[in-house]
Structures are given as C-alpha cells and as structure tokens.
Structure 1
Amino acid sequence: MIEYKLATRRERFVAFLVDATIGVLLFLTFYYFWGDKSDSGEISVTGLPAFVLFLLNFLIWPVLEGFNGQTIGKKLVGLKVVNDNFKDISMG
C-alpha cells in the first residue's frame, strides 16, 4: 500500500510562490503588449485582452487542479490535491 504524507507549510508556500509568479508574469506580459498608459501613468488592459487575461488567471488554476489535482507550482514541488480518502479529486 502507498503511504501518503501531508504537505509541509514550506512546500505549500513554495508552490504558491511559483503559481503567483506565473500569474504576475501573465499580467506583465498583457500590460506590456496590450496595456494603455494614461497621462497619470496608470496602465490598464481593456476589451478582449482583459477578458483573456481574466480567463487565464481565474480559470486555469481551478481547471488544472480539477483535472489532475495539481497546479503548475504544486507539480514542480511534488504536491497533489486529494480527497479525505487519498483519491484523486474531480471538477465536481
């Protein structure tokens, strides 16, 4: 039988940092290519690029976890989300 262990805080934090860094890089890429800079120095992304950015940031992580139990950060650290019986989770 396979023995499972709970993730440490350090492992969870590192996975979070990786995922957050990917999110920030997505934001910066969209701001660089499709951002509009106002006279006051503020940068905004509107229209279709903003919608795509929204979809990437708010759907990609839940979808990844729902399909295989891992975000990119969790996969790099070696973590996986499972249910109470250590079975794979689903989108439901």
Structure 2
Amino acid sequence: MSGFEEFDNYQAKFEKASIGRRIVASVIDFIIYYFVCVFLALVLDNSSESIFSFHLEGFSALVAFLIGFFLWPVSEGIWGQTIGKRFMDIKVVSKDYTDVNMGQAFGRFVLGFIDCSFISGIIATIINKDNQRIGDMAAGTFVINSKYKE
C-alpha cells in the first residue's frame, strides 16, 4: 500500500461533524461559560440579584475573560476540543487531519465573533461541502466526529 492510499484510507475513517452537533456543542460551551460568570458575580462581586441579572467588574471580569480564553482557543489548541465538543464527540483538526495548533485555534476563535454576530458562520457552514464556517476556512481546519469508523 502506497503512502497516498494509506492517507486516503485514514481520511475515510473520519466524518465531518454535522451542523447540529456543532451547534449543540457551542450551546453547551456558552451555558458553562454563562454559569461560570454568574458564579464569579455572586462570589467575587456580590453584584448578582439573580442568575439573569448580574455584571462583572475589575478582577472578576478579568477572571471571566481568562476562563473564556481557556475554554475556547486554548483548549482547542491543546486538545482540539472544548468541553462542549468533547461532550458531543467532535474535534477540530487541520485539513490534513492532524491536530490543530494554537495559531489555528486562535484564528477560529477570533473569526467566531464574526460568524456569530452576522449569522454568516451558519450560512457558510450550510453551503460549504465540508461544513466549514468562516473561521474554519481561514484557519484551514475541519470539525470531525472524534469517534472514527473502523
């Protein structure tokens, strides 16, 4: 078996993650981050009247930012997954199906704001044959099912 045939067989083991799985993973991540922020507001700022009404200032805002930064680009850069992606059994990989690097993960994160703000990420994912959002296209990544076919 040649090297190209091995690579083709390796690629065939992975399926691109569905849009639904990606959305559920994102919702899980946002829920986790939201409750972390509520906890920070309750414990550090004493500024929460309820879980729907709070604000973060100073140190607690910095901690929330650092946790969010770890939750998204850092965890994807290290493990290829956020908590939500891990729960949904999906993973971010480079176009050659190798692990993403920190630069790719950071690029996906930054462009994720554009994807979410203008709904363009969902539209791009729907019309793209590889289910890539704008951040994926720019970073040269895919999101795949982390459990591969035998």
Give the equivalent residue in structure 1 for 2:88. Answer: 77
Listed as ranges, the matches of 1:12-31 within 5 Å are 12-31=22-41
TM-score, normalization: structure 1? 0.83
Q: What TM-score, normalized to structure 2?
A: 0.53
Q: Which amino acid aligns with 2:95?
A: D
What is the one-letter code of the residue matched to 2:80?
Answer: G
CA–CA separation in structure 1 for the residues paired with 2:34 and 2:63: 15
> Any conservation in 2 of the 1:35–1:43 contact (CA below 8 Å)?
no
Give the count of matched residue pairs.
88
Please give the per-residue CA displacement for 1:1-50, whole angstroms capped at 9, x wherever unaligned: 4411000011111111110110111111112222436xxxx743222122
Q: For each residue in 1:43-91, what CA deviation from the matched residue of structure 2 results, as whole angstroms up to 9, or x when unmatched?
A: 4322212211111113331100001100000011100100111111111
2:33/2:68 contact within 8 Å kept: yes
2:70 is paired with a residue of what secondary structure? helix
Give 5+ residue unaligned stretches, structure 1: none
State the 4+ residue runs in structure 1 displaced beyond 3 angstroms.
Answer: none
**Any gaps of 5 or more consecutive residues in structure 2?**
1-8, 104-150
Greater mean deviation of Cα atoms: 69-78 or 49-58: 49-58
Q: Is the 8 A contact 1:31 1:45 kept in 2?
A: yes
**RMSD (Å), alpha carbons:** 1.7
